[in-house]
Amino acid sequence: MTDTHTLTPDDTAGATQDEVVRAVCDALLPSLEPAADALGDPVLEAYYRDGAVARGIDTAVAAAVPTLDATLRRAIASLAEHLAASGFLDPAAAADPDARIAMLRAAGDASLTHRNAVRQLKSMAMGTFVNAVDETGTNPVWPALGYGPLAYRPATPGETPKNLRVETPDAAAEIVLTADVVVVGSGAGGGVIAARAAQAGLSVIVLDAGPHVTDAKRTQHGAEGGAVFLGRGGLFSETGQMGILAGSAVGGGTLINSMVSLRPPQKIRELWASEGLEGLDGPEFEAQLDRVWSRLGVNTEASHHNANTRAMITGLAELGYAHERLPRNFVADGVSEFCPFCAEGCTHQQGFRASTVVTYLDDAVASGARVFAGAWIDRVTVADGSATGVTGTIETADGQRPLRVDAPTVVVAAGGIESPALLLRSGIGGPAVGENLRLHPAWIVTGVYDEAIEAWHGQIQSAVSFDLTEVVDGEGFLVESLSLNIGSWAGLSPLAEGRVARDRMRSFDRYATWHGVAHDHGAGRVVLDEEGRAALIWDLDDDIDYRVGVRAHQELARMHKAAGAKEIFTFLWRDLRWRDGEDFEAFLDALAAEPPRDHLAMSAHQMGSCRLGADPTVSVADGRGQLHDTSGVWIGDASALPTAPGVNPMITVMAVAERTAEALVATVRKGG
Ligand SMILES: Cc1cc2nc3c(=O)[nH]c(=O)nc-3n(C[C@H](O)[C@H](O)[C@H](O)COP(=O)(O)OP(=O)(O)OC[C@H]3O[C@@H](n4cnc5c(N)ncnc54)[C@H](O)[C@@H]3O)c2cc1C
């Protein structure tokens, strides 16, 4: 095995690499004779006939590779070199797409680095195939997939309350701003602290690297959706065992998340209190949770189950597991609203999704805060052990310009991946920066049903089971449904020959997909790559995490079978698959036999990498959020959490941010 964690530069991208990448796309999406049942149907015939080359996907993917992060670029360069040397470009291979798939499979079997590259190229190619839209706003393959058309359009876009004022500075040689407090990141944590600091009378500037996309402006296209995710949704750990989903836009994760609003368990609060977060186990934090709950309008009345969740509830009930209706920050008046394509972004005129854009950031601006999008912060600046501000670049009306914000108080709230990277680049925070990364590994299993599920239709998640949260040495997982974007599903599902993949995608509307969201026992870490950007190290090397992953796959498979699925499969590297009539126990055994290196987890929750705590050797900031080694720098986001809460973290992140904001305001008022 050639996989290592060394981050060395190797940018050998060139003509051969481009050729290999295009050939990989052609192998994944070859031009095919239409299936027998497609003959005579022009849409279906074109679905099979027009592959990556006819649709320009091969060229688009090759052109996009240089925009990927260094880890992925290096992996793809290495794969391309390996494939070219193995005859991938030879005429015989070109004439046999299935032989090329076999070569890709063999490359991924032998090396996790190459597997990561294969998975990335597949995600890009298949994602483009099913997600790209033409000038009419549609994709010609959607009818073949039973998908679309995207349904809801606001009648009068731009109406209140989605009118957050976000500024774009005029071009200048360097943009220089001043404030009492500068907040880096406008998501769950940053939004709260910006509001509370501004309401306390401090001048506040909020900077977010992502774009400002109001609800009403969103088109609900999967392709557009990528623009509001960190790394355009294509971020993986170095060995590819963990995929990362995180929001990157004004509003951060709150703009695109599933709105599950759960409070942290008491035992976690007690653990964190014992590690130096005073009051977290008692009424003080209860009040902070209540404030968040109330500002976001969290309720269960507006939570409605779609077919995907209903199938999950059936599976749970058949196995004797309980479920609960999820509280969510979905604030439909009249509680009967049920929007289609919710996972593709709320476009409802009333802004049903209570993201920070329509709550805390709105409050912040109402109290005088200024919000800027497209502002990438490279460093926190420090003099004599105290914060002096931040530097980076900002999108102006006339392109990118250098940015400097002078401010004695800096709130680092760039999320669990980017906050530690910012501190590492700045050389502050001490030895714990980037360590202790918790991810809530999510294990995903899909069932194929006889009837239409259309998992993209309706509310993303509306039910949960807590019955399996302590099944492996005290650890376990939540059971929640999952509304997978069709691009994610097509990209991450097991590698298959071109025809098999095309045939399978036609059943997409009958897929129900659920996940076990695990409370991680082990941890990963964030380091800097050779370009000074965040790179993620995570392997499934913790035995408890591995056994929880196996158990999650097995339990979800059992639930699917109990709910009536006719076929069940996973996102593991090997295409483990059960079909009606086959030996189900043998399938469960096969799931248990899958070695750790062949597992794939996804994370939508990145936490703990700048943890709060009393001990500066293992924590970055004190129990109230201020850095141990640099006064005036505060950790304000999910990276502050000492461990994973074991429930979807947004409410916890926001309540801890409420607590940090109180301490920050009190400290500033005291003068230091
Ligand atoms: C698909 C998805 C579904 C989810 N569903 C749920 C759910 O249902 N319930 C739940 O509780 N949680 C959910 N989460 C998780 C939740 O959204 C996050 O835990 C939460 O948003 C984290 O808040 P944060 O403040 O740490 O970071 P974020 O909200 O991620 O905000 C960080 C912001 O910082 C910006 N940024 C990053 N680097 C820089 C930089 N260098 N300079 C300037 N800006 C920068 C980013 O653009 C981003 O907007 C989900 C997440 C995802 C991705």
Please state which of the ranges 309-313, 327-331, 573-577 shows the lowest mean pLDDT. 327-331
Q: Ligand 1 mean position to 173 CA, how many Å?
A: 31
With a cut of 50, say whether residue 583 has pLDDT above it: yes
CB 343 near ligand 1, within 6 Å? no
Residue closest via CA to ligand 1's atom 14 equals: 257
Q: Ligand 1 mean position to 264 CA, how many Å?
A: 17
pLDDT digits 0-9 by tens, 238-263: 989 999 999 999 999 999 899 999 99
Which residues share a beta bridge with 446? 513, 569
CA dist 128 and 123 (Å) reads 8
Residue closest via CA to ligand 1's atom 4 equals: 257
Atom of ligand 1 nearest to the CA of 650: 11
Q: Ligand 1 mean position to 22 CA, how many Å?
A: 33
Please state which of the ranges 11-20, 54-63, 126-135 shows the lowest mean pLDDT. 11-20
pLDDT of residue 50: 97
Q: Ligand 1 mean position to 36 CA, how many Å?
A: 46
Q: Ligand 1 mean position to 269 CA, how many Å?
A: 21
CA-closest candidate to residue 253, choices 646, 661, 606: 606
Write down the domain spans for the chain: 15-145, 175-294+354-433+609-670
CA dist 362 and 433 (Å) reads 31
Q: Averaging pLDDT over each range in 226-235, 624-633, 663-672, which range is the top one?
A: 624-633
pLDDT of residue 149: 61
Q: How confident is the model at residue 334 (pLDDT cuts 50, 70, 90)?
A: low
Mean of the per-residue pLDDT values for the chain? 92
CB 423 near ligand 1, within 6 Å? no
Q: Ligand 1 mean position to 56 CA, how many Å?
A: 33
pLDDT of residue 214: 75
CB 185 near ligand 1, within 6 Å? yes
pLDDT of residue 158: 46
CB 648 near ligand 1, within 6 Å? yes
Atom of ligand 1 nearest to the CA of 259: 8
Q: Averaging pLDDT over each range in 334-343, 348-357, 566-575, which range is the top one?
A: 566-575
Q: Ligand 1 mean position to 346 CA, how many Å?
A: 16
pLDDT of residue 456: 85
Ranges of H-type helices in 167-234: 188-199, 222-225
| The two structure tokens encoding residue 608 | 């703990």
CA dist 340 and 474 (Å) reads 38
Mean per-residue pLDDT for 385-405? 96
Residue closest via CA to ligand 1's atom 9 equals: 260
Q: How confident is the model at residue 349 (pLDDT cuts 50, 70, 90)?
A: low
Atom of ligand 1 nearest to the CA of 190: 25
CA dist 275 and 612 (Å) reads 8
CB 207 near ligand 1, within 6 Å? yes
Give the SS3 label for residue 214: coil
CB 420 near ligand 1, within 6 Å? no
pTM of the model: 0.95
pLDDT of residue 350: 67
3-state helix/strand/coil string of 489-542:
HHHHCCCCCHHHHHHHHCCHHHEEEEEEEECCCCCEEEEECCCCCEEEECCCCC
pLDDT digits 0-9 by tens, 31-45: 999 999 999 999 999
Q: Ligand 1 mean position to 121 CA, how many Å?
A: 25
% of the chain at pLDDT higher than 70: 93
Ligand 1, pocket-test mutation among 353, 360, 418, 620, most atoms within 8 A of CB: 418
Contact 538, 237 (CB under 8 A): yes
CB 252 near ligand 1, within 6 Å? yes
Q: How confident is the model at residue 10 (pLDDT cuts 50, 70, 90)?
A: very low
CATH superfamily of 175-294+354-433+609-670: FAD/NAD(P)-binding domain (3.50.50.60)
CA dist 368 and 429 (Å) reads 30
